[in-house]
Amino acid sequence: DGGITQSPKYLFRKEGQNVTLSCEQNLNHDAMYWYRQDPGQGLRLIYYSQIVNDFQKGDIAEGYSVSREKKESFPLTVTSAQKNPTAFYLCASSIGQGQETQYFGPGTRLLVL
């Protein structure tokens, strides 16, 4: 079964803690993305990667970091610098030729304790 997996489904963060959200895809896609969704709002782009070992900041990168060491994996770290991290985090991937459809994983809901 080809698809995108995200883990965990729910994640709780304590003050001052860094947490890492996992995203894995077996679609052989080159491009991967991280979005944040707040209630009643559209998706906002955090980071994206067009190819292994390269990534670019999106619109709201402050307080987040990513790595892309493998084609299949694009983990997102929410650092303690992100003061309002409570949101629904969505990972997506696409073929990697630009302008094509992005496919989404099931999401991780991050809550602050």
Partner 1 sequence: QKEVEQNSGPLSVPEGAIASLNCTYSDRGSQSFFWYRQYSGKSPELIMSIYSNGDKEDGRFTAQLNKASQYVSLLIRDSQPSDSATYLCAVNRGLGYKLSFGAGTTVTVRA
- Which DSSP string do the residues of 51-82 spell out, in sequence order? ETTEEEE-SS-TTEEE--SBTTB--EEE-TT-
**Residue with Cβ nearer partner 1 (59 or 69):** 59
**Residue with Cβ nearer partner 1 (45 or 52):** 45
**Residue with Cβ nearer partner 1 (16 or 98):** 98
Please report how close the Cβ of residue 41 comes to partner 1 at its closest, in angstroms.
Answer: 6
Other Cβ atoms within 10 Å of 86 Cβ, number? 13
> What's the rounded Cα separation, in Å, for the pair 68 and 88?
21
Please report how close the Cβ of residue 90 comes to partner 1 at its closest, in angstroms.
Answer: 6
By CB under 8 A, name the binding residues for partner 1: 31, 33, 40-45, 48, 50, 58, 90, 94, 98-107
Peptide bond into 85 cis (omega under 30): no
Please report how close the Cβ of residue 16 comes to partner 1 at its closest, in angstroms.
Answer: 28
